[in-house]
Amino acid sequence: MKIGIVGLGYVGLVTASVLADRGHYIVGVDIDEMKINELNSGRIPFYEPGLQELVDKNKDKLIFTKDYGELLDSQFVFITVSTPTVNGKIYLDNVFSAATSLSKINKDSVIVIKSTVIPGTSRKIKKMLNREVLVNPEFLKEGSAIMDTIKPDRIIIGGDSEETIKFLEDLWSFTNSPIIRTSMEEAEMIKYAANSFLAVKISFINEIANLCEKIPNCDVNVIAKAIGMDKRISPYFLNAGLGFGGSCFPKDTAAITSFARDLGERLKIVEAAIEVNNERPFRAVKMMEELIGELKGKTICVLGLAFKPNTDDTRESVGLKIIRLLQEKGANILAYDPKAKVKDIKISSLDECIQYSQGIIISTEWDEFRGIEEKLRDKYVVDGRRVLNYKLLDRNKFRAIGLGE
């Protein structure tokens, strides 16, 4: 089939490449001319494991353009544009602008909303365009986005027309994943409920970590492993650390709590998860101060600028938040990340970062940071992601999230 993808960020480009690999002809549209030029030159504008190779493999089935006219005869058009939060509320102009631009495509084309939108948004688009619209939320994790598209835990399709839903079910049938049919509003809500629950789970274990730090001989990793063996809890998203960042959890939790307040409700647990998460960078800096004393004039190395490993995405990066707090206290900054590059922050090599600093804060759990205990012996270290073996380090110079003194 000919399939259109509007918005060529993580979700759009991964969806395009996977569907092209299934033999479909893909037209990717984006208003960012620089991004289109990069893609047409064979370069992926961000790092995602395996994506460059998948795009290269299917380049004969992928077209990238700014021209919505190329979508006129597409069987499906997925809207995958960004939905950021502005002043704590979701910003939907990108979605409505994309939908308006699709008003002239073939009436038999199925428009599918894959962008994360608050409940009721897709129905507004359906009324605006006077045509069937489906909601098909994504559940990708950066760093494993291709496999999450090929073999998702489940596929959610929300819509009013059984015939149109069946059409989209057939497209995703190659995944062999369970498919759940819902209303449009339920599909939109499922995405927010899932991300909010995971955010709550992360903040919960981080609060337990705070308590473990006050108790001798108590390690949150042991606690998390034990409770995660309970099938009702599961071990996923129970890694205590410096909290969540990235393009999804921060904006989605803000959007859904704001949406709830507009409806006269409060999501108190989700609000608490946000509050706990916002505190995490301050905790890391406080730990370093407790080890090294006044930070003014001290050189601190921050290891990890990407919000998580296996990506170069620095949106809502805890590492960057820590750097800003350190700078406010007068510290000199060195930084290293295997993939992420940030304007106005000098990126050293790993060895240089460690050698020329007095203190080290690990803010992203890259595998490259495991097993470097020997290099850190004479340094003050805050392990914000629990990647180090604390038994190999001087406990007078070492602090770790969730590890009792």
Q: How far apart are CA 266 and CA 26, in angstroms?
A: 42
Residue 140 in marked binding region: yes
Q: Which of 212, 218, 248, 301 is catalytic?
A: 248
Residue 241 in marked binding region: yes
248 is catalytic: yes
Q: How far apart are CA 381 and CA 399, in angstroms?
A: 6
DSSP class of 392 = G
Closest CA to 181 of 196, 170, 171, 166: 166
What residues contact 166, with CB distance under 8 A and at least 6 apart? none
Do 385 and 364 contact (CB within 8 A), yes or no? yes
Longest C-alpha distance within the chain, in Å?
69
Residue 83 in marked binding region: yes
Residue 315 in marked binding region: yes
Distance of CA 227 to the CA centre of its chain: 25
Residue 141 in marked binding region: yes
Residue 124 in marked binding region: no
Do 22 and 170 contact (CB within 8 A), yes or no? no
> How many CA atoms does the CB half-sphere of 107 hold within 13 Å?
2
Do 156 and 187 contact (CB within 8 A), yes or no? yes
Residue that the structure tokens 């759990």 belong to: 365
Residue 35 in marked binding region: yes
Residue 238 in marked binding region: yes
Residue 116 in marked binding region: yes
Closest CA to 321 of 223, 377, 243, 390: 243
Do 283 and 220 contact (CB within 8 A), yes or no? no
Residues recognised as catalytic: 248
Annotation: binding site for NAD(+):
30, 35, 83, 116, 142, 251, 315
Residue ranges of the binding site: 30, 35, 83, 116, 139-142, 191, 237-241, 245, 251, 308, 315
Binding residue positions for substrate: 139-142, 191, 237-241, 245, 308
